[in-house]
C-alpha cells in the first residue's frame, strides 16, 4: 500500500516533517538548520522489502538506506565489514558460520509499530526463513518470489539456521561455499523485524511489513507517493551513530536530462545515471562535482562454444585479435570505459594484472582463421536492445565489431530481439556470438567467474556455454576455502586459462559517473551501483 493512502501516517509525518522540510529546504540555497538532502532518483521502487525484488532502484529506496545486514560492504568499496553481526567464525570444514550479533540495535519506530525490544537472533532467523522455508507463514506474502535468494543458490546452500542464543546465530551449509559471507552482504539478506512481522500477522495485514518498512538502518521511511517522492528522516537511535543529514528526499525524476536540469537549478543534490553527452558540461560546471570510479562490471561478447566453428579456440582467439577495443571505448563509451582483458573488473581482489590482452592484429587473426579452416566465416552478432552500464550502446558496438571482423573476412549479421526474448533465447544457446555483460553483486570473484563461466551455468548465465574442466576445477576448489590468499592464487590461474581459451572477447569495464552538487560532502560511489546516504553531509 502506498503511503499516499495511509492518512494516519501522513498526518503524523506532516507535523513532524513538514516544518523540518520548510526549514531544511533552504539547505539547497545555503542557510540551513535541519539538513535535507534531495536525491533525484530515476524511478519508483517496486516495494520496500529488498528480498522480493531485483532492481537497483528498489534497493536504493530500501536496503541501501532503511535496512542493515549481518555484514556489509564498506562504504565505497567491496570490502566486507561487520554490521549487525559484530564478528563471525567459520568451522574447519567450512560448513558452519556462527555470528555473534550486535547488542542494543534499535528498530525504527513508526506510526504502525513501536518496537518492544532491540534486534536479536529471532530477526535474523525470520528474515532468512521467510525466504528459505516454503511453509513459513510469510513465505507467500507479497507474491513470495525471492529471486535473488534463489538466484544465488541459497535454498540449496543453507541447510538450517540455528538460534544458539539471543545474540548468536549459526548458519549450517550443505557444502563449503567461501563466497557465503559476501552473499550475506547483499540486499536480499537485509534484516527485518520479527516482532513487527508477528504483530502484522496477528493484525491480519502481513503485507504491511513489505510496504511500511521497519528496519535498523540509518534512515526511516516517512512517506511515499508513487512516481513522485519518497521521504525519509534520520533514524535517531541508529547503532552506528545518527546520520549527519536530518532528512533524505528521493524526488523521482525518470528523465536523465531533467535530472541534470534539476541538479543545476539546485532542486536536487545528487542524481544518478547522467547522460554521457552531459558529462563534459557537468565536469566544467563549478557547482557540480563529477565523481567517477571504475564500475564493478564487465561487458563482453560471448562465443557459443557449443557451435562450430566456435568450439575451436583458434577461431575465438582470432576474433579476439580482430576487435579494435580502443575504437569501441572511444565511440561507444565516449571515453567512459576501460578496455577489459579479464572477465573480472580490476576493482575485485584476485584480478590478474599480469595477463596480456590479445593485441589488435587483423593480419594474425586472418592467419589463425585460415589455420582453423574458417577463412570465410559467416556468423551473427547479437546486440542487446537495452542500455546497460557495461554496454551503453550495444547496436553501435555490434556495428564496430562487424566492421572489424569484415576486415579479416568474417561476415557477421547483427541480430536483436526484445530484451526478455534476448535473454531467453541466448540462454537457450540460439546465438553464435552474443553481446552481454554483468555487474557484480557482492564483490567476490566467484560472482563473476563461477556465475558466468562455470560448468553449472553452461545452460544458463554462461552464454558462451563453455565448460572447461581445468578452469572449472579451479573455481570449485576456490569455493572450498575461506583463505583469501589461496583463493586469490586459484582465481589468478583461472584467469590465465580463460585468456588462453578465449570463450569471450572481454570488451570493457565502464566507469561510473556520479554528479553531486558541490555542497555535498563525502558522497562515495558504491561499486555495486547503489546510492547510500549514510555518512553524507551538506555544507
Partner 1 sequence: MLRFFLTRVGLLAPTFLGVTVVAFIFVRLIPGDPVEVMVGEMGISPERHAELLARLGLDLPLWEQYLRYLGGLFQGDLGVSIVTKQPVLHEFFTLLPATLELSFCAITAAILLGLPLGILAATRQGSAFDHTVMASSLAGYSMPIFWWGPLLIILFSGVLGWTPVSGRISLLYFFEPVTGFMLIDSLLSGEPGAFTSALGHLILPTIVLGTIPMAVIARQTRSAMLEVLGEDYVRTARAKGLPASRVIGLHALRNALIPVVTVIGLQVGVLMAGAVLTETIFSWPGIGKWMVDSIFRRDYPSVQGGLLLIAAIVMLVNLIVDLLYGLINPRIRHRN
By the criterion CB under 8 A, which residues form the site for partner 1? 1-2, 4-5, 7, 10-11, 13-14, 17-18, 21-22, 25, 38, 43-44, 46-47, 54, 142-145, 147-148, 150-151, 207, 210, 223, 225-229, 231, 249, 251-255, 257-258, 261-262, 264-265, 267, 417-421, 423-424, 427, 436-438, 457, 460-461
Backbone angles phi, psi at 485, to 5 degrees: -65, -45
Shorter beta-carbon distance to partner 1: residue 365 or 536? 536
Shorter beta-carbon distance to partner 1: residue 461 or 490? 461
Smallest distance from the beta carbon of 131 to partner 1, in angstroms? 13
- DSSP letters, 169-229, are EEEEESS--TTHHHHTTSGGG----HHHHHHHHHHT-TTHHHHS---SSSEEEEEEETTTE
Shorter beta-carbon distance to partner 1: residue 11 or 33? 11
Shorter beta-carbon distance to partner 1: residue 46 or 399? 46
Shorter beta-carbon distance to partner 1: residue 255 or 500? 255
Q: How do strand 96-101 and strand 85-90 relate by DSSP bridges?
A: antiparallel
Shorter beta-carbon distance to partner 1: residue 205 or 225? 225
Shorter beta-carbon distance to partner 1: residue 30 or 143? 143
Shorter beta-carbon distance to partner 1: residue 241 or 420? 420
Smallest distance from the beta carbon of 25 to partner 1, in angstroms? 5
Smallest distance from the beta carbon of 288 to partner 1, in angstroms? 13
SS3 421: helix
Shorter beta-carbon distance to partner 1: residue 375 or 423? 423
Cβ atoms of 415 and 383 closer than 8 Å: yes
Smallest distance from the beta carbon of 477 to partner 1, in angstroms? 24
Cβ atoms of 471 and 484 closer than 8 Å: no
Smallest distance from the beta carbon of 444 to partner 1, in angstroms? 15
Smallest distance from the beta carbon of 263 to partner 1, in angstroms? 9
Backbone angles phi, psi at 431, to 5 degrees: -80, 165
Q: How far apart are CA 205 and CA 191, in angstroms?
A: 19
Smallest distance from the beta carbon of 9 to partner 1, in angstroms? 9
Smallest distance from the beta carbon of 418 to partner 1, in angstroms? 4
Cβ atoms of 129 and 123 closer than 8 Å: no
Smallest distance from the beta carbon of 211 to partner 1, in angstroms? 8
Q: How far apart are CA 275 and CA 305, in angstroms?
A: 36
Q: What share of the chain is helix, strand, coil (3-state, %, to 5)?
A: 35, 20, 45
Give the containing element (helix H, strand E) for 257.
helix 256-264
Cβ atoms of 230 and 221 closer than 8 Å: yes
CB within 8 Å of 12: residues ≥ 6 apart: 111
Closest among 202, 204, 200, 203 to 212, alpha carbons compared: 200
Smallest distance from the beta carbon of 513 to partner 1, in angstroms? 20
Shorter beta-carbon distance to partner 1: residue 355 or 423? 423
Shorter beta-carbon distance to partner 1: residue 74 or 421? 421
Smallest distance from the beta carbon of 423 to partner 1, in angstroms? 6
Closest among 479, 384, 492, 499 to 437, alpha carbons compared: 384
C-beta neighbour count of 365 within 10 angstroms: 27
Q: How far apart are CA 537 and CA 531, in angstroms?
A: 14
Cβ atoms of 162 and 172 closer than 8 Å: yes
Amino acid at each position: 500500500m502506498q503511503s499516499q493512502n495511509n492518512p494516519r501516517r501522513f498526518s503524523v509525518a506532516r507535523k513532524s516533517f513538514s516544518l523540518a522540510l520548510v526549514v531544511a529546504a533552504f539547505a539547497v540555497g545555503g542557510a540551513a538548520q535541519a539538513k535535507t538532502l534531495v536525491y533525484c532518483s530515476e524511478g519508483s521502487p517496486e516495494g520496500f522489502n529488498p528480498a522480493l525484488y531485483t532492481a537497483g532502484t528498489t534497493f536504493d529506496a530500501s536496503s541501501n538506506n532503511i535496512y542493515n545486514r549481518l555484514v556489509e560492504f564498506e562504504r565505497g568499496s567491496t570490502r566486507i565489514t561487520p554490521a549487525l553481526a559484530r564478528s563471525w567464525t567459520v568451522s574447519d570444514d567450512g560448513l558452519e558460520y556462527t555470528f555473534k550479533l550486535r547488542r542494543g540495535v534499535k528498530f525504527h519506530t513508526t506510526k504502525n509499530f513501536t518496537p518492544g525490544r532491540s534486534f536479536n537472533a529471532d530477526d535474523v532467523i525470520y528474515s532468512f526463513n521467510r525466504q528459505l522455508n516454503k511453509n513459513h507463514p510469510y513465505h507467500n506474502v507479497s507474491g513470495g518470489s525471492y529471486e535473488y535468494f534463489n538466484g544465488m543458490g541459497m535454498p540449496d546452500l543453507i541447510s538450517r539456521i540455528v538460534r544458539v542464543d539471543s545474540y548468536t546465530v549459526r548458519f549450517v551449509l550443505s557444502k563449503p561455499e567461501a563466497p557465503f559471507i559476501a552473499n550475506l552482504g547483499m540486499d536480499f539478506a537485509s534484516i527485518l523485524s520479527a516482532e513487527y512481522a508477528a504483530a502484522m500477522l496477528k493484525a491480519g495485514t502481513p503485507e504491511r511489513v513489505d510496504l511500511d518498512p521497519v528496519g535498523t538502518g540509518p534512515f526511516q521511511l516517512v512517506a511515499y507517493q508513487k512516481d513522485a517522492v519518497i521521504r525519509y528522516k534520520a533514524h535517531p537511535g541508529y547503532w552506528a551513530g545518527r546520520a549527519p543529514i536530518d532528512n533524505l528526499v528521493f524526488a523521482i525524476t525518470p528523465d536523465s536530462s531533467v535530472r541534470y536540469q534539476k541538479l543545476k537549478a539546485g532542486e536536487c543534490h545528487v542524481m544518478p545515471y547522467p547522460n554521457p553527452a552531459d558529462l563534459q558540461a557537468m565536469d566544467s560546471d563549478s557547482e557540480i562535482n563529477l565523481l567517477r570510479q571504475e564500475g564493478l562490471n564487465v561487458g563482453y561478447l560471448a562465443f557459443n562454444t557449443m557451435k562450430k566453428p566456435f568450439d575451436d579456440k583458434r577461431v575465438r582467439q582470432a576474433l579476439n585479435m580482430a576487435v579494435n577495443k580502443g575504437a569501441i571505448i572511444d565511440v561507444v563509451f565516449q571515453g567512459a570505459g576501460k578496455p577489459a582483458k579479464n572477465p573480472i573488473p580490476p576493482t575485485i581482489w584476485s584480478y590478474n594484472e599480469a595477463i596480456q590482452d590479445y593485441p589488435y592484429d587483423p593480419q594474425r587473426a586472418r592467419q589463425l582463421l585460415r589455420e582453423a579452416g574458417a577463412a570465410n566465416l559467416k556468423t551473427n552478432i547479437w546486440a542487446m536492445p537495452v542500455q546497460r552500464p557495461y554496454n551503453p550502446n550495444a547496436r553501435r558496438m555490434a556495428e564496430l565489431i562487424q566492421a572489424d571482423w569484415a576486415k579479416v573476412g568474417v561476415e557477421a549479421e547483427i541480430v536483436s530481439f526484445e530484451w526478455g526474448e534476448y535473454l531467453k533465447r541466448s540462454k537457450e544457446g540460439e546465438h553464435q556470438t552474443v553481446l552481454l555483460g554483468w555487474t557484480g553483486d557482492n564483490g567476490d570473484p566467484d560472482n563473476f567467474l563461477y556465475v558466468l563461466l562455470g560448468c553449472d551455468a553452461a545452460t544458463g548465465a554462461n552464454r558462451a556455454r563453455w565448460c572447461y574442466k581445468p578452469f572449472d576445477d579451479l573455481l570449485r576448489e576456490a569455493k572450498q576455502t575461506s583463505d583469501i590468499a589461496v583463493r586469490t592464487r586459484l582465481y589468478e590461474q583461472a584467469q590465465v586459462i580463460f585468456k588462453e581459451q578465449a570463450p569471450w572477447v572481454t570488451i570493457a569495464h565502464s566507469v561510473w559517473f556520479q554528479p553531486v552538487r558541490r555542497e555535498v560532502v563525502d558522497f562515495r560511489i558504491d561499486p555495486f551501483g547503489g546510492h547510500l546516504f549514510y555518512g553524507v553531509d551538506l555544507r
